[in-house]
Amino acid sequence: MPESIQADNKFEKHSRTAASCSSSTAAVPSWLNRHLQTAGITVNGPNLWDPQVHNTAFYERIRIEGSLGAGESYMDGWWDCEQLDVFFAKLMDQQVEKQFNGRWVALKHWLMARLLNLQSVSRAFEVGERHYDAGNELYRAMLDPTMCYSCGYWHNTDNLHQAQLNKLGLVCRKIDLQPGDKVLDIGCGWGSFAQYAAREYQAHVTGVTISKEQQKLARTRCDGLPVDIRLQDYRSLQGQFDKLVSIGMFEHVGQKNYDTYLKQAHALMPTEGVFVLHTIGKMASRLGTDPWIHKYIFPNGAIPSLTQISQACEPYFVIEDVHNFGPDYDRTLMSWLDAFTKAWPSLKDTYNERFYRMWRYYLQCCAGAFRSRNLQLFQLVLRKPGAGLSRYHSPR
């Protein structure tokens, strides 16, 4: 079982009663309340988005460890909040989360991102083993029938499944997919795009993933279709493909590898090829990622800014189109949360209560980030400069 879903007892040393808190610690709640009240949040308040603290050691933990302490103490049951998504959206709307970021923890992660290549070839499969291999039954229960684990496109629909079909169709139109096209899907997941493109457009799809569980299920789902699903890092790919897509994988590439990634994509496609890059994006160009997300959800992840993407594209691609539908990710995440919560009775014998709290925290904090527009969802259409003067027409 992956490390992130095992019971983690090492934080028991932090447990203290209110009586054992030092005088300096006892002053923290008023400091915390001052910041939270600017966002309309009150500790132990009456609203559904107000956090309810059960262990006063929480205050010292968040002061020292920032978001890592907040997330771990929630997993440990030290506090609850009925509407975590609203709580996080309010925090980020007012940028309150920056007031308690756990200076030393944040500095550690910034230095790691600056000094180390956290997404090197030797580390590439770590996120697959720890997150995507957490269990196909978990993802089957949470996702829609397409098994898309990325943002849906909620255009003229209130249904998650249709939103994911909309997204897959949109990508196919953006690359002008034609019958018989050879398509490379970088980060193919459980085969959602590969299956759709092969079935609906008669395309020949090669998909690569760094997750053994994803490969296994994707091969089953695409059986009988012209689809090849490989367990392979993008840096070792060879050959030529008419079209390229990458849906929700660029977040695992990392700033030190953007040039390598885009240079490789450039080499794998002909002059007239088209590449659709679908990725979560952040507002500002910064190194590192949230320490709690890094530890428990997406180890070694890095969310790019639009500036970082465009600068990395300069030697290789013309950016024909940028489409931002970040608010759609809020709806997608909340749909996943609803499905996960309903499925929990059938999952709880496989996972523990701490995992349940971790997963709900993950989905809701991310939903809040998109709702506040702290995070975006970018789809970029990329073509080689030598593609000529043919005009690109956005299909959306």
Catalytic residues: 366
Q: Which has the closest alpha carbon to 262: 189, 209, 186, 191?
A: 186
Residue 40, token pair as written in the block: 């309309």
Q: Which has the closest alpha carbon to 250: 260, 240, 239?
A: 260
| Cα 60 to Cα 27: distance, rounded to the nearest angstrom | 10
Is residue 123 within 8 Å of 300, Cβ to Cβ?
yes
Phi, psi of 312 (to 5 degrees): -70, -30
**Residue type (1 letter), 6:** Q
- Cβ-based neighbours of 39, under 8 Å, separated by 6 or more: 90, 91, 93, 94, 96
| Cα 186 to Cα 343: distance, rounded to the nearest angstrom | 30
Is residue 66 within 8 Å of 106, Cβ to Cβ?
yes
In this structure, the strands spanning 204-209 and 182-186 are parallel
Is residue 102 within 8 Å of 64, Cβ to Cβ?
yes
Is residue 98 within 8 Å of 60, Cβ to Cβ?
no
Strand partners, 305: 282
